[in-house]
Each structure stands twice: as C-alpha cells, then as structure tokens.
Amino acid sequence: MNVLAYLPYAVSFWIFAMGCYGLVRCRNLIAAVLALAVAQSSTYVLLLSIGFHKQAGAPIFSPTNPVGSPAVDPIVQALTLTDIVVGATVSALILALSIQIHRRTSCIDPERLSPMSE
C-alpha cells in the first residue's frame, strides 16, 4: 500500500490534535482562539484532500479548460467555503469575549478564570 496516498488525511488529523493540544495547554485566551482556528483548518484540509483528483483541473472552466474536461470535486470546495466563514465568526466572537473578560478582570488566563463553582 502506498503510504503517501494517506498522508494528507494523517496531516489533517495531526493538525486537529495539535489544535486541541493548544487548547489544553493555553494560558492565554487569544492563544486559544488561534489554537481553535488551527484545529478548524484540519477540516478544510480533510475536505479538500478527499475531493482531490489526480489528472484533473480546477472546476472552473474557460477556453483553456473547456467544459467537460476532468475537474476535482467542486462540492467539497463549496463546503470548505462555508466552513471558513464559520471559523472566522467563531474567532471574532471569542475574541470579543476575551476583550470583555480582560475589561472585567485584567486577566486572560483561562486557568484563573472559572465560573463560580459550587
């Protein structure tokens, strides 16, 4: 079995695990946003890697790439586009939350912030 043929999937899973590791170890909410964004990029990589096809072009036709010529899967690309928007919005929301936390407590270390636990 050609190991390289499965490398893209492995890379995607690896990035996801590293993103989660960043969340587990982070001492700064902004680092957590970046770690979450890294974890999210793993989904883009996985989707696009699954839809890729050798010997095919982009799913955008033009006189040099006429209609009907082989193309990689356009659906995963559309899904990834949606996913990128989701990622950006969640980042913006958590950053706004971090700014508010900092305003209240002058601290953005998640270790020292916990909802009053009873």
Partner 1 sequence: MSTTFVRLVPAFSVAVPLMAAAVLAPFTRCCTRAVSSVVTTVACGLVLGMTLFLLFYSSAHGTIVHWMGGWEPSHGTAIGISFAVDPMGAGLAAFVALLVLCATVYTWIAVDLVGTLLHVLLLAFLGAMCGYALTGDLFNMFVWFELMTAAAIALTSHKIEEASSISGAINLAVTNSLGGFLVLFGIALLYGKTDALNLAQIGEALAKQPIDAALTASFALIVCGYFVKGAVAPFHFWLDDAHAVAPTPVCLLFSGIMVQLALYGVARIYFGAFAASFAPHVCAIGGLFLGVGIATALLGALMAYAQRHLKRLLAFSTVSHSGMFVAAIGLFQPGAIAATALFIAAHGLVKSALFVCAGTYLNRFRSLDECVLGGRGREAPANSAMFLIGGVALAACPPFAISVAKAAFDRAMDARGLAAVSLLMALVSAIDAGAVLRSGLHITFGIGNAQDTGISPREEEPETIGDHLESTPWTMLAVPAALLALALWLGVDERIWHGIERAGAVFVDRHSYVGAVLGGHSLPLPDASGPKQTAVSLTLNLSATALAIAIALAGLFRHRIPRQLKVASRPFAFLRNLHSGKFADYVAYLMVGVAAYGCWLVVALPR
Partner 2 sequence: MSLLELVLYVLVAIVGTAVVLTKRPLNQLIVFAAFGLLLSTLFFALHAPDVALSEIAVGTLAVPTIVMVAMMKTGGGV
Partner 3 sequence: MSEHTRTTVFGASAIVTLALMLYASMSLPAFGEFTGPYTKAVLAEATRLRHVDNVPTAINFDIRGFDTLGEEFIFFTSVAGVLLLFSAAKAAAPPAPEPMEIGDQRANTGAIRWFFAGVTALIAAMGVSVAAHGSLTPGGGFQGGAIFGSAIVCVYLAMGTRAMDVAGNHTFFTALDALGAFSFGAIGVATGLATGSFLGNSLGLGRTGSLVSGGTIYVINGFVFLEIASGFIVLLTAFIKQMRQLQEEQQ
Distances (CA, A) of 12 to 81, 91, 108, 114: 17, 20, 29, 32
Shortest distance in whole angstroms from residue 76 CB to partner 2: 8
Burial of 32 (0-12, 13-18, 19+ CB in 10 A): buried
Of the candidates 89, 74, 98, 96, the residue with the CA atom closest to the CA atom of residue 37? 89
Q: Are 50 and 76 in contact (CB under 8 A)?
A: yes
30 binds, among partner 2, partner 1, partner 3, none (CB under 5 to 8 A by kind): partner 2
- The first and second tokens of residue 71, run together, are 């193309």
Could you list the residues that contact partner 2 (CB under 8 A)? 4-5, 7-8, 11, 14-15, 18-19, 21-22, 25, 28-31, 33-35, 37-38, 41, 44-45, 48-49, 52, 56-60, 71-72, 77, 80-81, 84-85, 87-88, 91-92, 95, 98-99, 102, 108
Could you list the residues that contact partner 1 (CB under 8 A)? 16, 20, 23-26, 29, 32, 36, 39-40, 42-43, 46-47, 50, 75-76, 79, 82-83, 86, 89-90, 93-94, 97-98, 100-101, 104-105, 110-111, 113-118
